[in-house]
Every structure is written in C-alpha cells, then in structure tokens.
Structure 1
Amino acid sequence: MVAQAAVKPIGHPAVGASIDIGHVSHAFDIDGTKLEVLDDVSLAVEPGEFVALLGPSGCGKSTLLRLVAGLEPPRSGVLREDDIRIKGPHPSRVVVFQDPTLFPWRSVWDNVALGLEAQGILKAQRPRIDAALELVGLSAFRNAYPHQLSGGMAQRVALARALVNDPKVLVLDEPLGKLDSLTRIAMQAELVALWQRKGFTTLLVTHDVEEALVLANRVVVLSDRPARIKADIAVERPHPRHRGDPYLADLRRQILGLLGLEATW
C-alpha cells in the first residue's frame, strides 16, 4: 500500500523539517558476528507529518530512530533533514524515550532547563521553560521533584524538556509504553494537541497498532529483522479520531495481517 497525500497539522502551518531516509542499511558487530538490522530502507517524511513505525519486536524500529536523531551513523545510505545530511545530534531533532530519565535531584523546572543549560543559553531563555511547562499542563508542579510525580506527569516533563528546544523533528521511541491504559489514552490526546499547536514533524515507534492509527497521518509497517518497509499506509481521518471508527478498524485488521497476527482480530 502506498501513502497518499500527507495530512498536515490542523490549523497550524507546518514548521517541521522534512526527513529523507535514502537506502539506509545498518548492522551491529556482536562478538565478532555481523547482525543485520536494517536493509535498504527508504522513506520520505514531509514537514509537519506524523509518521508511526510499526513492526515486530527487535526488527530495527528504534535503531532507525537513532539514525534519524543522529545518535549514530548508518553503515550505508544517507539521512537528510531539510536536504542537509544528518551527521550527528542537533537541537532541531529531539528524542523522547520510553523512560523519562529525569534527574531525581533536580526539580521539574530544572529538568526541563537541561537542554538550554547545555547550550549555554539558559540565562537569556528562561521564559521558554515556563512556556514549555504551561504547554504540557505542569506549571503548578515546576518546583516538584520526580518522586512526587505520577508516570504520566513524568513523561509530560520529558516532553516539555524536548519542546523547550523548539524542535523541528520530535522523535518518539515508545514514549507511552510504560503508562497504564487510561493515562496512555489521555497522553495520546495530549501528543496530538501538541503536534497540532507546534507543527513539528513527528516520528513515533510503537507496538500498539491502535495507538499508531489514532495518532499518525501515516503508518509504516516494517518486516522482521533486518527490517524492510512492507507497507506505507495513509490514515485519512481528521483529529480527534474515534477508536470505534470502522475505517480505523479496517486499517487495524490490514496491519495485523501484515504483521502475521490475523488470528488476533
């Protein structure tokens, strides 16, 4: 299946960057053995798109995100952001992982300030921290510490820490994977709202087919390792989406079939 025209964030001009993944292959050396992870993956993401990556556990989804973030170079192929080759990490591309990784000895405000502090611009940009906390609804908890937060609140702090840098690309590696089901649904709605307000390009890795369909404009299905793209599916529904929508149910059935899980439907 081929994705159709990209759906841009509603009511907000796209300020995100384009991402071009061209014939990327990657492998790891483990005890002298070459482990192939990605095999000739090509993917074009337009500015402001929300793209979800689905695939079997261990197929290489998170590795692909690390390459996009510039955390390591590919063995072969080229990745570009706005036609500029990605050669390493950059503040325009920010990663949010499954674990919020907050420093327990720093307050919420100080955790969010880390990126600006590392860039040496904290003194001049302090208002951005308060703005990011307001954006994720945590202004009242600016002086709290991580042990005083729920799992969902801690993940919102991680999001604020990413958003304070005004990223063009938000890279999400199963950021909601450890949350309970009710908090996860609420956070999904918050992610969509943030994306619509800010217009950044979003790449999400998830194992949850329903989550991918509720959030993303496109769902890219990867094969077993070494990962290749099996399908690139456009999700042509405006937000907010309803989980009971027959259109989404049909896409879910198709995707489960691509993942070899027809019997679970």
Structure 2
Amino acid sequence: MVEAVLSPAAGQGTAANTGALIDIHGVSHWFEVPTGVLQVLDNIDLQVRPGEFVALLGPSGCGKSTLLRLVAGLEPATTGRITQNGETIEKPDPSRIVVFQDPTLFPWRSVWDNVALGLQARGVLDAQRGRVDEALQRVGLTEFAKAYPHQLSGGMAQRVALARALVNDPQLLVLDEPLGKLDSLTRIAMQSELVNLWQRDGFSALLVTHDVEEALFLANRVIVLSDRRPARIAAELVVDLPYPRHRGDPRLAELRHEALRHLGLDATW
C-alpha cells in the first residue's frame, strides 16, 4: 500500500482534521466493451489520510476518473476493496461529494436553490436553511444568491458547485478536474480559493487532473498513474512545501520535472 507521508508543512493552517480516512486495497477494474473486456486499473493500493489533499495525475484516458467513481461509490470495483473510516464503500453517500468539470447547475433554479439541492433531497432544508447562506458566504457568492446560472461567469458557476458540495459538510471532496474548463487566469484564482476552503474546513480531498502544475500547487501528495492501460501507480511525489505556495518556487520546478519524467515527458522541460 502507498502510505501517506505528510511533511511538517502539509496541511499547515488546516482546521482540526474532520476528513475521511480512505483505504484503497488491491483495486482492479474492468469494463465490458463490444470487443470483450477492457481492464483500466491494475492492483491500485492507496491511502488518503484524514484532512489530506491527494492528487491523481496522468494523461487523459488513463483511468483517473474511473478510480474517483469507485471511491465515490458510483460503481463497485471489479476486484479489491475501498473503505471509508474502515467501512466498505458500496454506494454514494453525502459524506463523499463529487465536484465535476461541468458545474451541472439547474438553469431554472437560483444560485441559492442550486446550493440547497442536497439538503432538500435529504428532507432537512427547512431546519438547516442557514447552512445554505453559510456555504455561499464561504465561496464569496452571498450577493449572487438570487441570480441564475446564465448570469454567472464560469468561475462563479464552479464556486456554486463547490458551495453545493460544502453545504453537506463532506468528509471527502472528490474533485474530477473541476477547473478544467476555466480560462487560465480564473483557474489560477480558483486553485487558491480551493486551497483556502480545504484548509478552513479540514475535509479530505482527492483530485483528478492532467495538469502537473495544478497537482503540485494544490496537493500534499501527487500520485502519478502510468500512461498505459491498465493504469498502475508509477510514482508518489510528496510536495514538501508550506501553504500558501508560490508558483516560482524552485522546489516546485524540481517536482514538476520529476513528474514529467514519470510521465515520459521530461524531454519537453
């Protein structure tokens, strides 16, 4: 198993850890395709400790998002076991919230009503309306509570998606390239906002990205997946830098080179 090795700087400034302990034991996964069976993951062993931010890095199509779906409980692994705080993950649960690349907001619902969706579905909205206001405040959208999705920028829409996740006080935030469709300047700003939310709330985070700089800027650890199917863990990089991080830090440049080497792209550096 790949164990989490936290540097003294990791999680610096975070809230008391309330995040989930995620254990992935010997997970392999296959899909049925017209030509037979396609294996996408091979014997993945990984642990995410409470309050840790882990990034899965690899090229498109290598199996990163599949692993996230298994952790989220959206489908079962073909073989192996995934647990949260010692209990087998068998189905989706409000303690694990997925934030996708597309905010998937309902256009006919206001920002407030979109954020309230999870509480409404669980039948607790009337008793916990204040949590919606609090979540909007945490992402800086209080003044846009009555706005509709078509009135928002891409970055604002993704902040609504984050608020919709945070209103449930998740133990684990599962992030499937949530900033992938944003322009570069908005993406940089949102990366900092995401770190701030994670530090303040203390949840565990598991991020999928194919952006090397994003993985290194956000995570305590970066897990590099192989670029050939079925995906295996090719390397683990401990990002031994405090927060807030500075993109020009020479250590980040070293780690970037190392990550690109494991991806077979270091000749471009």
Range class of TM-score, shorter chain: over 0.9
Q: CA RMSD in A?
A: 1.2
Between the aligned partners of 2:181 and 2:162, the Cα distance in structure 1 is 15
- 2:147 maps to what in 1? 144
Between the aligned partners of 2:14 and 2:154, the Cα distance in structure 1 is 30
TM-score, length basis structure 1: 0.98
Between the aligned partners of 2:69 and 2:169, the Cα distance in structure 1 is 19
* Aligned residue among 160, 164, 168 for 1:165: 168
Q: List structure 1 segments (4+ residues) > 6 angstroms apart after TM superposition.
A: none
- 5+ unaligned residues in a row in structure 1: which ranges? none
Between the aligned partners of 2:260 and 2:195, the Cα distance in structure 1 is 23
- 2:126 maps to what in 1? 123
Task: Kindly indicate whether residue 244 of structure 2 is the aligned counterpart of residue 240 of structure 1.
Answer: yes
Between the aligned partners of 2:268 and 2:113, the Cα distance in structure 1 is 45
Q: Give 1:3 deviation, angstroms.
A: 5.8
Between the aligned partners of 1:11 and 1:113, the Cα distance in structure 2 is 26
Q: Give 1:9 deviation, angstroms.
A: 4.6
* Aligned residue among 78, 97, 103 for 1:75: 78
* Residues matched between the structures, number: 265
Identity between Structure 1 and Structure 2 (%): 69
Q: Give 1:218 deviation, angstroms.
A: 0.1
Between the aligned partners of 1:3 and 1:250, the Cα distance in structure 2 is 20
- 1:4 maps to what in 2? 5
User: Quick check: 2:14–2:201 contact (8 Å CA) kept in 1?
Assistant: no
Q: Relative to structure 1, is the Cα distance of residues 13 and 231 closer, same or farther in structure 2, using a 3 angstrom cutoff? A: same
* Aligned residue among 219, 231, 254 for 2:222: 219
- 1:262 maps to what in 2? 266
Q: Give 1:32 deviation, angstroms.
A: 4.8
User: Quick check: 2:31–2:38 contact (8 Å CA) kept in 1?
Assistant: yes
SS of 1:124's equivalent in the other structure is coil
User: Quick check: 2:71–2:82 contact (8 Å CA) kept in 1?
Assistant: yes
- What amino acid is the match of 2:251? Y
User: Quick check: 2:12–2:243 contact (8 Å CA) kept in 1?
Assistant: no
SS of 1:144's equivalent in the other structure is coil
Between the aligned partners of 1:246 and 1:32, the Cα distance in structure 2 is 48
User: Quick check: 2:3–2:47 contact (8 Å CA) kept in 1?
Assistant: no
Q: Give 1:122 deviation, angstroms.
A: 0.7
- What amino acid is the match of 1:12? A
Q: Give 1:231 deviation, angstroms.
A: 0.7
Between the aligned partners of 2:164 and 2:265, the Cα distance in structure 1 is 37
For residues 123-170 of structure 1, give each alpha carbon's deviation from its aligned partner in whole angstroms, at most 9, with x where no partner exists: 111000000000000000000000000000000000000000000000
User: Quick check: 1:3–1:232 contact (8 Å CA) kept in 2?
Assistant: no
- 5+ unaligned residues in a row in structure 2: which ranges? none
Q: Relative to structure 1, is the Cα distance of residues 228 and 11 closer, same or farther in structure 2, using a 3 angstrom cutoff? A: closer
SS of 2:164's equivalent in the other structure is helix
